[in-house]
Amino acid sequence: MSRLLHISASPRGAASESLAIAETFLGAYRETHGDVVDHHDLWDGTLPEFGPAAAAAKMAVFAGETPAGDQAAAWTAAREVFERYDSYDRYLFSVPMWNSSVPYILKQFVDVVSQPGWVFSFDPEEGYTGLLRGKKAAVVYTSAVYGEGRPPAFGTDNQRPFLEGWLRWTGIADIEVVEFRPDLATADAESGRRAAHAEARELGKRF
């Protein structure tokens, strides 16, 4: 049986478009697959910071050393987040656009789990190798202003390239996407919302 982890990056609860579309996906997924489904709300207060002690620990590991003291504690906290993440083979990310990119809490998650020997290995001649091969991800992207084909004054997309670039860097190449980016010029968000939910429902069934 597969295990799916929903990683949500919106703090807006019932007002969140990305969370609502994710719930549609998850409802169809549960009905079809019956697999284990869990939720990691990145805003629940459990995500550790990746500050000076953790950064020093990472450099110690790169140097073949063992972190000690505050560094060891920071490394252990990061490791716990990674082990939870790695225990699943399927992921659903729900990601609103903030300032043309992702919410900072999602970048914090990425920085916490992206460590040598966990999500990547590195060779001085060959470069990086992702270690999470064999897993798959679905992503719900939402934005209130940016949309493909709109003028630059409506923003640029540093959201999808960032997240999918990171996923592929970690070895996850099987990625499917649902987007909801309503066209404010037409003031008709409902048709796009219905389409996004329908797409999420179908993706949940086959994921």
Q: What is the CATH number of the domain that holds 50?
A: 3.40.50.360
**Structure confidence at residue 185 (pLDDT):** 63
**Structure confidence at residue 188 (pLDDT):** 78
| Distance in angstroms (rounded) separating the CA atoms of residues 59 and 57 | 5
Domain count of the fold of the chain = 1
Residue 121 assigned as binding residue: no
**Structure confidence at residue 88 (pLDDT):** 97
pLDDT profile of the chain (207 residues), mean per 10: 95 97 97 92 97 96 93 97 98 97 98 96 95 98 91 92 98 98 79 95 97
pTM flag (> 0.85): yes
The single residue listed with the structure tokens 């620990």 is 57
Residue 17 assigned as binding residue: yes
**Structure confidence at residue 67 (pLDDT):** 95
B/e letters for 91-125, b = 16+ CB within 10 Å, e = fewer, are: bbbbbbbbeebbbebbbbbbebbbbeebbbeeeee
Tell me which residue range forms the domain holding 63: 3-206
Residue 2 assigned as binding residue: no
Residue 114 assigned as binding residue: no
